[in-house]
Amino acid sequence: MESYLDERERWEALLGWLRENGLSILAGVALAAVAFGGYRWWQGHLDQRDLNANALYAQMENAFARGDEVSAFAAAGELERTYASTPYADQARLASAGVFVQDGELGRAAGELRIVMLHPHDPILGLIARLRLARVQIALHQAKEALATLDAVNPGAFATRYDVVRADAYYAMGERAAALAQYRLARAADSGGETDKRLLDLEISDLAANLPQKTSAAHPAKPALAPAGK
């Protein structure tokens, strides 16, 4: 009998607890269900957004490939307006900048690259934009600005490519020794085939051959002989 009463008492205690706390439990379950449903809806929304952005980006690429810049830039503009929070908008700006460079519109190219560099939705795209902007700045005879652009961040896996463009900037400024040092640094650090090693070797050989040789302190240069009769 005592065992029966113990079981009944436990059951009644459980019922009492449920009566007191059941509403909050149900509310918690309902909130969890709503949160999960909201997450699933948001995830589906993001997936659809990315699919739409990807399709528009492909449309832009195809238009550029067939030389239809009007349609391509229209698609790029739509990406930047409607899908501005996605990396596809950054990629559209990078692609547009490439076409501007080909068309000789370096100022417009720099503008697009600067936007991606300063506000990237993917850090990798930001580093790529910075590297390309430095190249454009060199072409615009802004080599000092290009160096500042390159030196403002840690390039990480892009260090070798940054060294090459940094060398190009020094070369454009007439600082051949600094350019040679940067080319050599890039050549020594490139273990993954990130650069054209054959071209780097040519640059290094050309610079090394044309730089004035430093005179050894142990063997100073002999003074030139005075002309006869002096």
Please compute the mean of the pLDDT values over residues 56-74 and round it to a whole number.
Answer: 90
- Residues 184-226 have pLDDT tens digits of 988 888 766 667 778 888 888 888 888 776 533 444 444 433 3
Alpha carbon separation from 157 to 93, 116, 125, 161 (Å, rounded): 22, 18, 13, 9
Virtual torsion, Cα 23, 28, 29, 32, nearest 10 deg: 160
pLDDT confidence of residue 42: 38
Q: What was the pLDDT predicted at 130?
A: 96
3-state SS class at 133: helix
Mean pLDDT rounded to a whole number for the chain: 79
Tokens encoding 142: 């802004």
Identify the band that residue 39 occupies on the pLDDT scale cut at 50, 70 and 90.
very low
Mean pLDDT of the region 142-152 = 96
Spatial separation of the C-alpha atoms in residues 172 and 179, rounded to whole Å: 9
pLDDT tens-digit readout, 76-97: 999 988 888 888 999 999 999 9
Rounded-to-integer distance, Cα 152 and Cα 114, Å:
13
Mean pLDDT over 134-151 rounds to 96
Rounded distance between C-alpha atoms, residue 137 and residue 127, angstroms: 15
CA dist list (Å): 29 to 11, 14, 24, 32, 36:
23, 19, 9, 5, 10
Angstrom distance (rounded) from CA 18 to CA 3: 23
pLDDT number for residue 14 = 55
Task: Give the pLDDT confidence score for residue 213 in this predicted structure.
Answer: 64
Joined tokens for residue 40 = 């699933």
pLDDT band at 157 (very low <50, low <70, confident <90, very high): confident
> With bands split at pLDDT 50, 70 and 90, how would you rate the model's confidence at 43?
very low
